[in-house]
């Protein structure tokens, strides 16, 4: 029937909306993998240790809907699909890098 998103009138605070976008178990790893260059689907699956096909698809879809990445499909055989960071997504680069550095300094 109605497959539209249910607009809950919650006013989640900003930080929680952000976590909806990049708080998933794999989102940051995916962004991190896309920082140096655009990647193909299987490439991401290989680069990111432990991720499942299902989750990679889900997170990529979510991030695409949220304007973090772009998906470009080429009608080749076999199919080729490239994922890339948008400008919006690239703005997250330094932040994720800072987080990463913080982790290196303080974890373990």
Partner DNA sequence: CGGTATCCTGCAGGATACTG
Partner DNA sequence: CAGTATCCTGCAGGATACCG
Q: Which does 13 bind (CB under 5 to 8 A by kind): DNA, its own copies, none?
A: its own copies
- Which of 2, 8, 14, 54 is close enough to bind its own copies by CB under 8 A? 14
Residue 61 or 91: which CB sits closer to DNA? 61
CA distance 15 to 19: 6
CB of 92 to its own copies, least distance (A): 7
Dist. CA 75–CA 87, nearest whole Å: 25
Considering only 28-36, 37-45, 85-93, 98-106, which stretch makes contact with DNA by CB under 7 A? 37-45
Q: Does the footprint of DNA cover residue 85 (CB under 7 A)?
A: no
Half-sphere exposure at residue 82, Cβ-oriented, CA atoms within 13 angstroms: 9
Torsion, CA 80, CA 51, CA 37, CA 100, rounded to 10: 170
């Amino acid at each position: 029937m109605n497959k539209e998103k249910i607009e809950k009138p919650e006013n989640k605070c900003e930080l929680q909306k952000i976590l909806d976008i990049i708080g998933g178990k794999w989102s940051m790893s995916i962004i991190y993998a896309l920082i140096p260059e655009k990647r193909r689907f299987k490439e991401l699956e290989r680069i990111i240790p432990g991720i499942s096909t299902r989750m990679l698809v889900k997170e990529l879809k979510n991030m695409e809907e949220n304007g973090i990445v772009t998906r470009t499909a080429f009608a080749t055989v076999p199919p080729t699909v490239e994922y890339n960071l948008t400008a919006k997504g690239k703005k997250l680069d330094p932040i994720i890098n800072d987080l990463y550095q913080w982790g290196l300094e303080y974890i373990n």
